[in-house]
Chains A and B, each alone.
Chain A
Amino acid sequence: MSKTIIRTKRSQKEALGPYGSLGKVLGELDDRLGMAKAGRTFMDKIFPDHWSFMLGEIALYSFVVLLATGVFLGLYYVPSQALVTYHGSYAPLEGMRVTQAFASSIDLSFAVRGGMLMRQMHHWACDIFVGAIVVHMARVFFTGAFRKPRELNWSIGLTMLILAITNGFLGYSLPDDLVSGTGLRIAYSIMLSIPGVGTYLAYFVFGGNFPGTSVIPRFFILHELIVPALIVGLVSAHLFLLVRQKHTQFGGRGRTETNVVGSPMFPVFIAKTNGFLLLVTGGTALLGALAQINPIWQFGPYDASKISYAVQPDWYMGFLDGILRIMPAWSFHNFGHTIPWEVTFPAVIFPGIVFNLCYAWPTIERLYTKDNNMHNLLDRPRDRPKRTAAGAAIFSVLALLFIASSTDVIANFLHVSLESVLWSMRALVFIVPAVTYPVTLKICRELQAVHDGGKRKTPNVVTRSATGEYLATLAPSVVDDVHHELEAELVPTFITADAGTSLSSTGVRSVER
C-alpha cells in the first residue's frame, strides 16, 4: 500500500481554503501587517445615504482631475518671463515679443495634441473645486456638522478652501496674458497697501518693482508643488479624521447619536463613489470640450501699459473685486505716512474678518450656546434659526459683493448710470443682510411649526360612506420610502443562499460554507 497524494486541480483548490488564492494573499498580508481586523471594520464602514454628503466628494474628485490635468500641463509649460519672438502655431501672434510663459501656454493649447482640452479641463476643474468646497462647507455649516468633536476638521476644510483660492489665483497668473497680468498688478498693489511692511512684502514676493522677472517662476513652484502638497496633506488629514470620528447623519428611524446608518464601504459605497469619480471627470471633460474658458490667445500677451475692458476674475475672486469697487476712496494721509484704506480694508482686512469668523465659528457657537456635548446627529437648518439666519446673512453679503464685481456690466446692461449702480451696491451691502437675517429667522420658525415638514407628502384618500359621511384616510406611504423604513442591520459577513432562489443580480457574492 502506498500513500500517494494525487495533486488534482480540485485538491489544490481545497488546500487553499474557501477563499482561494486571493484569500491566501490576504492571509500572507495579515501575517505581516495584521490588517484583517481593521480591514474588515473598514469594509463595513457605514456611509449615510443622504445626497448632501456627495458635495465633499465633488471637491475631492475635481482635485483629482486638477492633479492629473496639471501634470499634463506641467510637461509643456515654461515658467519664464524671458522675452522671445513668437513663432508658433497660433498665426495672429506671429512675430510678437512675448514671454516664454505666454508662448508656451499658447503652444500647449494649439500645438500639443489634447493640450487645449487639458488646459480648459484644468481651469473648469478649479472653478468646480472651489465651488464644491464652498457648497460642502455650507452644508456642514447649516447642519451643524462642525460641532464637537469635528471642529478641527472644519478648520482643516477651511484652510483647504483658502489654499484652493490661493492656488487658483496663482495658476490664473501663470499664462502671463493681458488679463492675468492685470490681476498680478492688482495683487502687487494690495501687498503695497499693508501698513508698515507692504513695500517690503511686495518687493520680496516680486523680486523688486512690478513686474520684474521673478514672479512667474516663483508662482509656478508655489502653484504646482508647494500648495498642492499642502492640500494633499490636508485632504489626508481630513479623510483620516472622517474615518476616525465617523460620519454625522440626519436623524430618523433607528438613527441615534451612537450609531451610523447607511450603506457599507464595500461594495455599495465603493461602487457609487467610483461612479461619481468617473462622472465628475467626465463632466469636467465635457465642459472643457464644449465651453470655452479663459481664451488667453484672445486676450494677448501681458503689457503693463495695456488693459482690457469688462473682464472679470474667476468667480471665487469676484467678492474681492466687488468690495474693491464699492469701497469709498478713504485714504489716510498723516504723520508722513499713507494708509491706503480704500485698498487695505476691502482686500486685506475684510477677507481676514470673513475667514477668521469662519475659523472661530465653532468656538463662538459653543460659548454662546454653552453646549459642550458630542454631536453626531445633524441639525435641520430650520431648527437652529439663529445660526441659519447668520449664515444666510454672511452669504448674502458675499453674493452682493460678487454681483458688485460687475458694476460696469450691470450699468451697461440696464442702461443706468454707473454712479447709481455704485451707490445702490453701497447701500444694498448693508440693507440686504439686515433684511436677510430677520426674514430667514422668521422662515425657520414658521417651518418649525409645519407638521411633518420635509417629509414626503402622502395623499389623503377621501371616501364617502353609504350614509353620506366623509372620511379622510392617509394613503399608504410611497413605495420608495420603504427603503428608509426597514430596520437597519449589521453588515453581514456571510450570505447564505436560500434553497430554490437565485438572486445573483444583487451584486453580492454568495459564499458556500
Chain B
Amino acid sequence: MTEHRTPVSLTTVSESAENLQPLAKNPIAVERRIAVLFLAGMLLEVGFGWSYWVNSPSWILGATLGGGLSLMGIGLIAWGKYLMPRGPFVEERHDLASTSDERDAFAGAIIERGASVVKRRKVLGGLLGGGLGVFSVTALFPLIRSLGPLPKGSLFHTDWRKGSYAVDITGHRIHVDDLSIGSIVTVFPEGLQETNNGQAVDQTVLIRISNENFVTQKGRETWGPQGYLAYSKLCSHLGCPVGLYEQQLKMLVCPCHQSMFDVTNGAIPNFGPAPRPLPQLPIYVDAAGYIRAQSDFKEPVGPGFWERS
C-alpha cells in the first residue's frame, strides 16, 4: 500500500522568513484599525440587543445587527489578509487514481464474487429481483393515486347551468339596468361567488357594450342580450384572470403576459401568446330583468391541455 496523503512536514521556519511576514507595512496601525472595527461591531450588537428589548422598528433592528456583523466581518477578513502570514504556501497534489493492480482488485472483487454468487443461485436472485421490482411499482401507488382525484371530465365543465343567476362577488344579482355602456363586472354563478372553484374556474367577465342585442360571432345570435357579453375570465394562455378592459379599443387584456382579446369579435386573441379566444357564456335577460346563463360554456375554459380537442 502506498500512502497517498501529504507527507507531514515537520519543518521549522524562522519567524523572520519572508512568507511569514504580514502583508501590512505597518502592522501596529492595522491592528489598531481592526480593533476599532471589532469594538464598533460589538457596540452595534449591544445596540441590537437593546433595540430588540425595547421593540424598535425593523430597520433599527436590522441596521444594528447587520452593521455590527459587517464591521466584525471586515475586521476579521483584514486580520486574515493583512496581519497573518502573507504566504504563499504550497501543497502537493497526488494522483487521485489508484494503481492498476488496486483497480483490478476492486473490480475483480465486485464482479467475480458477484458472478459466483448469482450464477449459483439464479432462482433466488430472480425471485428477489422480482419481489423488489413489484414493491417498487406498488410503492408508487400511494404517490400517484392518493395525492389527488383523477381529472376525468372536470376540466371540461364549470358550475354555470341553465338559469344560473350571474352575481357579483358580494352575491348581488346583476340586473339589466346595473351596468352602463362600457362597464365591466366579474360575475359568478349564484351561490359559488365565495368558493374556491367559483372564483378560480367559474369567474366570468360581464361587459355591457351597447343597448342593442350584440352578436359576436355567427351562431351566437342570442348570446348578447341588450349589449351584455359574458366571457370566461380565465386567460386561454396560462389561466390568469383577464382583469383589464380597454374601454376604447373594446379589448380585454391579460396583465400577466399581455394577451389581448377582441370583445366585439368573440374574444379572438389579436395580440400576445394566447392561442384561443376566451369562451363566451350564452346568457339571457329573464322576465324580471336579471342576467342568467343559457347553459354552461360550450368549450373548456382556461389554458390548454392534452385531452382538450
Contacts and interface: CB of A to CB of B under 8 A. Distances in A.
A508 interface: yes
Contacts of A193: 303-305
Nearest to B44: A282
Contacts of A382: none
Given A275-B75, A493-B10, A505-B22, A45 B91 contact: yes
Contacts of B84: 263, 267-268, 271, 506-508
Interface string A480-503: 000110111111111111100101
Interface residues of B, number: 104
B67 A286 contact: yes
A324 B238 contact: yes
Contacts of B199: 303-305
B258 interface: yes
Contacts of A277: 73
Contacts of B80: 263, 267-272, 275
B268 to A, nearest CB: 11
Residue among A116, A208, A422, A484 having the largest count of chain B Cβ atoms under 10 Å: A208
Contacts of A188: 239
A494 to B, nearest CB: 4
Contacts of B237: 189, 324, 329, 342-343
B39 to A, nearest CB: 15
B103 interface: no
> Interface range on chain A: under 10, 10 to 19, 20 to 34, or 35 or more?
35 or more
B176 interface: no
B79 interface: yes
A32 to B, nearest CB: 20
B173 interface: no
Nearest to B308: A338
A37 B87 CA distance: 23
Contact of A264 (B72, B89, B144, B154): B89
Interface string A325-338: 11111110100111
Interface in B1-55: 5-6, 8-23, 27-28, 31, 52, 55
A497 B253 CA distance: 79
Nearest to B18: A486
Contacts of A71: none
Contacts of B273: 324-329, 342
Contact of A205 (B148, B186, B302, B303): B148
A497 B15 contact: yes
A117 interface: yes
A487 to B, nearest CB: 8
Interface stretch (B110-118, B121-129, B240-248): B240-248
Interface string A364-397: 0000000000101000000000000000000000
Contacts of B27: 505-506
Contacts of B203: 304-305
B134 interface: no
Interface stretch (B57-65, B208-216, B220-228): B57-65
User: A-B pairs with the 5 shortest C-beta distances?
Assistant: A289-B62, A285-B66, A275-B76, A278-B73, A271-B80
24 contacts: A113-B55, A120-B58, A199-B306, A205-B147, A244-B96, A262-B89, A275-B79, A278-B72, A286-B67, A303-B199, A304-B241, A305-B203, A305-B233, A307-B240, A329-B269, A329-B272, A333-B308, A337-B307, A343-B237, A343-B303, A408-B258, A489-B13, A489-B90, A506-B21
Given A282-B67, A498-B15, 9 more contacts: A185-B239, A211-B196, A213-B196, A214-B148, A278-B69, A303-B199, A305-B186, A419-B271, A505-B31
Interface of A: 37-38, 40-41, 44-46, 49, 97, 113-114, 116-117, 120-121, 149, 182, 185-186, 188-190, 192-200, 202-214, 244-246, 254, 257-264, 267-272, 274-290, 303-310, 321, 324-331, 333, 336-340, 342-343, 374, 376, 407-408, 418-419, 422, 483-484, 486-498, 501, 503, 505-508, 510
